[in-house]
Chains A and B, each alone.
Chain A
């Protein structure tokens, strides 16, 4: 059966995924909007940076986050100067890592949704007296709603499934940085296979339900 530590890990994981998803939607929306609309020469480069976590091994991301957020890294120096202290081994650090790690899973669906809207509705809104921000909230957001749902679900699920980055920067602190995937790893390492099964099976069911939900939505919107 599952212990209090396991439940703590589940709660922590859900918290991490929720906070990460919320931040990603706020950050990812302008980035995706810019990527969808810009004709800038930097579009390719920015798009590639956003997509990096898709191809990089999580250990690479984790390693560089550990170094850059460390006391001698640029982010670490910044956070220390701001009086926040160092990010590794903290919940905030996991959030930063997760935001970067799950960025493409939020930005790309949003970018696709924005691109699908096209230029015309924006022009129509302008001829109907709506300014840029007004247009974004009254036209773009409602038209891109399916994209936002997909982005939120994928961002949340991908953060829940995160392992390598957390392992590298988390320090495995119960109730602070020990998420479900790390807890499973610990159980397996310690040969606690029964406990590992409970959590692993839970992850399988969760992931299946998420994908099922997404497929349903896709079919629904295609109809």
Chain B
């Protein structure tokens, strides 16, 4: 019995020793930031030796999970209101909030020539389905609805709207061709400064409220140097280059 206990203590000591320099950090990431975050995390792991666990999803769903005790240490939201709310509610570390990217909305079709570079296609309405993310829960969905209202086509197009549960599913609707076009995050169809395919209209930023995407350190990451390190890394030059290459503003 004593021997077993001794072994366990030794093992625990060894593990904790090793954990100190190379820790793990759990991150909840808004779906639109999936591709750049995978790249950034890989760079971060290589540079620091820390391990990053990424979960991607809708910001609204992460909010519900985090409020109910999900063990994420860092949260990269698709908007700026959710991190602020978490901070107010004391679930996030006060003063740790920062904007890591400014999202760009794009109207995209998997087929070339469908979307013109001024978005006139919306006014003509010659399509069956326009995909948007759920405006109630996804910031890109809310921004898309704002654009439609501003262009005065919201009511006309209402019957043609199909709603993805999040921006990733919305992309699936359009990429599979079931919806001819849809409002997506530019990062989903943009890599290294160019469109991955199809046709697109980069929606001018003044047509909707800015898609400020904020990150915040959560209560679970308060005393985790690795979480803080990753937050700092996101603000560094290496991350900035990756973020920009996906079409985000800074």
Tell me if chains A and B make direct contact, with any CB pair below 8 A. yes
- Give the interface segment out of B31-39, B176-184, B191-199, B239-247: B176-184
Residues of A within 8 A of B131 (CB): 171
Does A70 lie within 8 Å of B134, measured CB to CB?
A: no
0/1 interface trace, chain B 167-193, chain A, CB 8 Å (1 if under): 001001100111100000000000000
**Total A-B contacts with CB atoms under 8 angstroms apart:** 65
Does B161 lie within 8 Å of A173, measured CB to CB?
A: yes
B6 within 8 A of A: no
Does B172 lie within 8 Å of A66, measured CB to CB?
A: yes
Q: Which of A63, A76, A171, A188 has the most CB of B within 10 A?
A: A171
Residues of B within 8 A of A89 (CB): 129, 162, 178-179
Beta-carbon nearest neighbor of A73 in chain B? B176
- Give the interface segment out of B8-16, B56-64, B115-123, B204-212: B56-64
Beta-carbon nearest neighbor of A71 in chain B? B177
A118 within 8 A of B: no
Q: In the complex, which residues 132-190 of chain B have their Cβ closer than 8 Å to any Cβ of chain A? A: 134, 136-137, 161-165, 169, 172-173, 176-179
Known: A86-B128, A189-B60. A66 touches B162 (CB 8 A): no
- How many B residues, CB 8 Å from partner? 23
Residues of A within 8 A of B169 (CB): 167-168
With the chains together, A76 CA to B163 CA distance in Å? 20
Does A189 lie within 8 Å of B163, measured CB to CB?
A: no
A188 CB contact (under 8 Å) in B64, B128, B177: B64
Q: In the complex, which residues 34-88 of chain B have their Cβ closer than 8 Å to any Cβ of chain A? A: 58, 60-61, 63-64
Smallest CB–CB gap between A198 and chain B, Å? Answer: 17
Smallest CB–CB gap between A172 and chain B, Å? Answer: 4
- How many A residues, CB 8 Å from partner? 25
Does B64 lie within 8 Å of A88, measured CB to CB?
A: no
A189 CB contact (under 8 Å) in B136, B161, B178: B136
With the chains together, A171 CA to B161 CA distance in Å? 8
Residues of A within 8 A of B172 (CB): 63, 66
Known: A85-B128, A189-B64, A191-B64. A167 touches B178 (CB 8 A): no
A186 within 8 A of B: yes
Smallest CB–CB gap between A195 and chain B, Å? Answer: 12
A107 within 8 A of B: no
Smallest CB–CB gap between B147 and chain A, Å? Answer: 19
Residues of B within 8 A of A72 (CB): 176-177
Q: In the complex, which residues 25-73 of chain A have their Cβ closer than 8 Å to any Cβ of chain B? A: 63, 66-67, 69-72
With the chains together, A170 CA to B172 CA distance in Å? 12
Residues of B within 8 A of A188 (CB): 64
Does B176 lie within 8 Å of A172, measured CB to CB?
A: no
Does A66 lie within 8 Å of B134, measured CB to CB?
A: no
Given contacts A85-B128, A89-B179, A169-B178, 4 further A-B contacts (CB under 8 A): A167-B165, A171-B129, A189-B64, A189-B134
What are 24 A-B residue pairs whose CB atoms fall within 8 Å in the complex?
Answer: A63-B172, A66-B178, A69-B178, A70-B178, A71-B177, A76-B177, A86-B128, A89-B129, A167-B165, A168-B169, A169-B178, A171-B129, A171-B179, A172-B163, A172-B165, A186-B134, A186-B137, A189-B136, A189-B137, A189-B165, A190-B60, A191-B60, A191-B63, A191-B64
Query: A residues near B, CB below 8 A?
Result: 63, 66-67, 69-72, 76, 85-86, 88-89, 167-173, 185-186, 188-191
